[in-house]
Structure 1
């Protein structure tokens, strides 16, 4: 799935919705901005979605 949208138009919710619906699947999200990474982390915790942040 590829989504191109302007800032603040729900791109993060697409990843969260997929993770919520596909409970037994592994979803890899590559995030280039630290602020977006922290926001995704916060939203996943809010919806009780298990996640792991890989630091390189």
Structure 2
């Protein structure tokens, strides 16, 4: 299996990459670390629109 790493600037489509991967792959786990609450809420909304199962872990 291959690992994927993306480094990109602000507003360059980083979120779309892992949402697209999660949507296309039938198995596996994607872990995303989000530091901003506003971004976390937006990603949650986008995943729900794409019918991607997700869990928000808060410590």
- TM-score, length-scaled by structure 2: 0.82
The whole-number CA distance in structure 2 between the counterparts of 1:19 and 1:39 is 16
Task: Name the count of aligned residue pairs.
Answer: 56
Kindly indicate whether residue 32 of structure 2 is the aligned counterpart of residue 21 of structure 1: no
Q: Which structure would you say has the larger RCO, counting Cα contacts within 8 Å and 6 or more residues apart?
A: 1
- Which residues of structure 1 form unaligned runs of 5+? none
- Please say which structure displays the higher CA radius of gyration: 2
- TM-score, length-scaled by structure 1: 0.85
